[in-house]
A = this chain, B = another copy of it.
Amino acid sequence: MNVVAKFEIPYYQCLDESSILHGNLPDSVKDTKQLVKLYRLMVLLRIFDTKAIALQRTGKLGTYPSTRGQEAVFVGMGAALANDDVFVPYYRDVGTLIQRGVKLSDILLYWGGDERGNCYHKDSEDFPYSVPVGSQPLHGAGIATALKIRGEKRAVLVTCGDGASSQGDFYEALNVAGAWKLPIVFVVSNNQWAISVPRSAQSASQTIAQKAVAAGIEGEQVDGNDVIAVCDRVTLALKKAREKNEPVLLEILSYRQSDHTTADDASRYEPQGIREKEWLKEPIGRMRKYLEAAKLWDEEKEKALQAECSVDVEGVVKEYLNTPPQSPESMFDSLYAKLPDIYLEQREQLIQKEIVAHG
């Protein structure tokens, strides 16, 4: 017996569970303004999240998936992206999206059941949320193919959950990214659950990062409660993608501190005590403690931030609730570049139906 191939999966953390920094601050997050910005965004996210859930509970929003506990994952990724990179999100991300110029009110609009929540700004090349789990890594690979064909030095960041890593499309995307040397970074936000199915039941693989081995690309695990590590590892991976066309798979480990969505009740299946235990590693408190120790943050600043975020979120909610409805015929108006004539009659019937319904 000879050994023909060997692999190792590294794990990265900067700020440990006790908010102690190991080594120096990495280049990408060295700037204190950047550190504070990451923190502020995480706080905004959590306040928004709480509000969104409240809106859902009072019938003002549809099903909504909480980001609670995963703030560092999404905020860290968003901060690592360059403006002209292309982002392909999955449905749980709010923190990256807001750093891509997407309005929080649009995110509410989306979950409120209005397609216009996916419009973003006109020039955005980012994909909207993709609901079918695991379908978006291939879109990311396609975008990366286009960027590479054109010789542009831009990268793609595509995200999905741990459950998504069981989908065939996920592996196919990793594989082609390796085979074609595509400028793409795959992030699996491993929050330990796919609705009621725990990570351990998804796969016998010790890590999700090692799924990269199947594609002959690099894979690494990152502490997803450590926004510094997340931001840094994603930054480096994107750089590698942009400059060397080397795709990377990052498994970012955190914990879903919530039900799967507002339609779910995790108490049915989540063993007691885990959530509380995992809470000790939670990203916002960890970062705050670090910032305070570094004299970059204090109680007063915190209060001001909380107040500011609440006001912002209230404004966002107002904007959301005041959005005028789409016309019924909008159902047809983006179906094709130009609606084929044979569907015009249906479009007309639809308008009549609406008039009758409200007339």
Contact = CB atoms under 8 A, between A and B. Distances in A.
Given A178-B205, A214-B171, A10 B6 contact: no
Interface string A210-250: 11011111000100000000000000000000000000000
A308 to B, nearest CB: 37
A32 B178 CA distance: 45
Contacts of A181: 204
* Contact residues on A (Cβ < 8 Å of other chain), bracket: 35 or more
Interface in A162-209: 166-172, 175-176, 178-179, 181, 201-207, 209
B204 A178 contact: yes
A9 interface: yes
Interface in A7-62: 7-12
Contacts of A204: 175, 178-179, 181, 215-217
A214 B181 CA distance: 19
A215 B204 CA distance: 6
A2 interface: yes
B7 A11 contact: no
Contact of A214 (B3, B10, B213): B213
A3 B221 CA distance: 9
Copies of chain A in the complex: 2
A2 B10 contact: yes
A11 B6 contact: no
A24 B181 CA distance: 43
A356 interface: no
Given A2-B11, A11-B2, A213 B213 contact: yes
A1 interface: yes
A9 B213 CA distance: 11
A213 B4 contact: no
A4 B217 CA distance: 17
A12 B10 CA distance: 28
A26 to B, nearest CB: 12
A207 B9 CA distance: 17
Contacts of A10: 1-4
A179 B201 contact: yes
B207 A4 contact: yes
Nearest to A205: B216
A304 interface: no
A158 to B, nearest CB: 16
A210 B10 CA distance: 17
Contacts of A217: 204
Given A3-B8, A4-B207, A166-B172, 17 more contacts: A1-B12, A2-B11, A3-B9, A3-B11, A4-B221, A5-B9, A6-B6, A7-B7, A166-B176, A168-B168, A170-B171, A175-B202, A178-B204, A179-B201, A203-B215, A204-B215, A211-B213
18 contacts: A1-B10, A3-B10, A3-B11, A4-B9, A5-B9, A5-B207, A6-B6, A6-B8, A7-B7, A170-B171, A171-B172, A178-B203, A203-B215, A205-B213, A205-B216, A206-B216, A210-B213, A210-B214
